[in-house]
Structure 1
Amino acid sequence: MQFLWPQYLWLLLALPLLVLLYVFVLRRKKKLALRYASLSMVKEAMGAGQSMRRHLPPLMFLLALAAMLMAAARPVAVIALPSAQQTIILAIDVSGSMRATDVEPNRLVAAQNAAKSFIADLPRHVKVGIVAFAGSAQVAQLPTMNREDLVTAIDRFQLQRATATGNAIVISLATLFPDHGIDLNAMQGGRERMRGFAIDAERRPEKKEFTPVPPGSFTSAAIIMLTDGQRTTGVDPLEAAKMAAERGVRVYTVGVGTIDGETIGFEGWSMRVRLDEETLKAIANRTAADYFYAGTAQDLKKVYQSLSSKLTVEKKETEISGLFALAAALLSLLAGGLSMLWFNRIL
């Protein structure tokens, strides 16, 4: 625990002085009590039979003062709090390589099942959008809190040719920032030169002035991309990751499949599909996020469970002055209440 105003902690040195003052008052009271002729009056004045109980309210009040001074120093601690993220975009690969069976029953079905479990575990107030990508990327479901619509969108996935991981990130960003003037048609081709989402500044409609922010600083949304990572077309995924980083959006990547991969065939052609971990790790690192490896269907489910926890609860450095102030108030009330109950006076 740290303190924003540690200089106020010096005031704690006044507490021993208060203890000495309390002892002085008790001794003075004892001397005055000895002047009484009646022994019963002496006992009453000295509080005989309740010596321990009589010190409890002052002790609690002393602790209350200590808590007040601690609160004034503005203590800060790292604690787990509900995340501020309200929107999550699930970008799921539906390219032909996802038909590989190195993850049972195949990569796509395992991804669909894990995604549905992930959505079911999220708090109901979190919006989720679905982006499906292969040779191009499309929004399968706009961000919504309706879990049934999300499941329906996931069940509609159809395998397609090619893989454009960069396009998936761009479309996800366009979904999160609809007012940034992203030219979706131009970006989908993936062949145009990209410079801050600009393809042709003269023909492109005006957009809001954009100022880059630190990576990972936008805490209202996140992108989770599940893929085997083998880009074959479209936007450079590292350029797309840079755009996400400039907007502070974290892109969590999930690599599905085995490192060695396998050879798949379809409609007379065959190809070797391997997991491109290097690219997926680079995307996550550039956006201040994390990369997760899922070599089996069970691993994939665990990954999504981990992501659910990571996205809904996060550790933050938070000022906890209010907790100390609350403790001080409760101790003060308890000290005063016990004093009135036992001695019919406040301390």
Structure 2
Amino acid sequence: MIDAISRLPVFSFLWPGMLWLFALVAVLAAGYVWLDRRGRHAAAHYPELKTAGVATRRGAGWRRHVAPVLILLALAALVAAIARPQAVMMLPSRIETVLLVMDLSGSMRAQDVKPSRLRAAQQAATTLLEAQPAGVSVGVVAMAGTAAVAQAPTRAREAVATAIERLQPQGGTALGNGMLIALTTLLPELTPDAERLMNDDTPPPRKPRALANPPADTEPVKPGSYTSGAIVLFSDGESNAGPAALRAAQLAAEHGVRIYTVGVGTPEGVVLSVDGWSARVRLDEKVLKEVADATSAEYFRLEDAAELKRVYRALNARLAFDKRSQVEITGLFAALGALLAGCAGLLSLWWFGRVM
């Protein structure tokens, strides 16, 4: 509910000084009320005026008020148009590239999500792929103990779908590496910083720090401000190799790239037996939420197959409408005023045989 409210348009006016004209509309409304009361008073005290036609419309009941009220509303809309209203609205972000990072760790074989975590992630990724506009390039990064580009960004949907389908579980999980490979695929100029992180095993700092040395006149980039591309990570959140996931998220945030995370699995997990060893594997939502929050993106949970469509619809909506822009809507108010005035005239003509 809070998220929906935050997406409502925020209004402002380019010429707020013109809003004083609303006072004239209020004066006209008060004048109409006064004239109406005066007419009713005259009709009550001088019944003979009815035969002269002064109060012909008094018997029309509520209908006699409809046209004047519509005219007053039309004037109010036109006054708002004169003040040149503008609204902050969600618009298509013209996203050009989406990188899908697929977790291929051994824990993705778990079947707490049917038919398995990996298979559910593949189905979700394929559904998201099919929902992208024709002009959007989609790439795939395979992530296990290491990470590599399984399919370079392309508009050929068949090639991407084939790359997703061929993915098989492997050993190890380098969550940070997967995000860094996807990030450098989007922004190749970040390769030196990404390589530095991959070779740095120190714990992540409590607060984001600059990982590169930008020019002195370069202003910091706001997280989530990069609208040409985005990363979608499908994972159960467990990581045992490579740099910390938060370090990779910090680098992405510093360059405005959003990393949407999809948690695959259940928090209680299941016992997984592979090659003679057994362990309980759980969905680690904490790290996935932290990655999404750090990059001004969102976290989704793919807990069962029934959630597949809901997750992909939400993700697709975020990818398609993720740009806030201020738009002047003067024409909308002007059209509304003209429509209301036209309706007032037509109704008055229909009911009383005169325009007003």
Q: How high is the TM-score relative to the length of structure 1?
A: 0.73
Deviation at 1:116, TM superposition (A): 0.8
Q: 1:89 touches 1:130 (CA, 8 Å); kept in 2? A: yes
- Pick which of 240-249 and 297-306 moved more: 297-306
- Structure with the greater alpha carbon radius of gyration: 1
The match for 1:282 is: 290
* Amino acid corresponding to residue 302 of structure 2 in structure 1: A
- Pick which of 308-317 and 81-90 moved more: 308-317
User: Can you give the 5+ residue segments of structure 1 that lack an aligned partner in the other structure?
Assistant: 23-42, 339-345
The match for 1:291 is: 299
Distance change in 2, residues 1:208/1:117 (3 Å): farther
Deviation at 1:219, TM superposition (A): 2.6
Cα distance per residue 1:143-187 (max 9 Å; x no partner) = 222221210111121322211111111111111112x24138835
Q: 1:102 aligns with which of 112, 127, 133?
A: 112
* Amino acid corresponding to residue 138 of structure 1 in structure 2: A
* Amino acid corresponding to residue 106 of structure 2 in structure 1: G
Q: How high is the TM-score relative to the length of structure 2?
A: 0.71
Instruction: Give identity over the alignment, percent.
Output: 46
**RMSD over equivalenced CA pairs, Å:** 4.3
Q: 2:130 aligns with which of 104, 120, 124?
A: 120
Distance change in 2, residues 1:185/1:263 (3 Å): same
Distance change in 2, residues 1:280/1:19 (3 Å): closer
- Pick which of 161-170 and 61-70 moved more: 61-70
Deviation at 1:209, TM superposition (A): 8.7
Cα distance per residue 1:68-101 (max 9 Å; x no partner) = 3202334345655434433221111112221222
Q: 2:226 touches 2:255 (CA, 8 Å); kept in 1? A: yes
The match for 1:26 is: none
Counterparts of 2:253 and 2:121 in 1: how far apart (Å)? 25
Counterparts of 1:9 and 1:296 in 2: how far apart (Å)? 53
Distance change in 2, residues 1:165/1:20 (3 Å): closer
* Amino acid corresponding to residue 243 of structure 1 in structure 2: L
Aligned length: 322
Deviation at 1:19, TM superposition (A): 7.7
The match for 2:83 is: 73
Q: 2:332 aligns with which of 300, 320, 323?
A: 323
Deviation at 1:130, TM superposition (A): 1.3
Counterparts of 1:252 and 1:12 in 2: how far apart (Å)? 46
Counterparts of 2:28 and 2:280 in 1: how far apart (Å)? 79
* Amino acid corresponding to residue 169 of structure 2 in structure 1: L
User: Can you give the 5+ residue segments of structure 2 that lack an aligned partner in the other structure?
Assistant: 1-8, 33-52, 348-354
Deviation at 1:224, TM superposition (A): 1.0
Counterparts of 1:270 and 1:213 in 2: how far apart (Å)? 45
Paired residue secondary structure (1:182): helix
The match for 2:154 is: 144
Counterparts of 2:70 and 2:220 in 1: how far apart (Å)? 52
* Amino acid corresponding to residue 166 of structure 2 in structure 1: R
The match for 2:319 is: 311
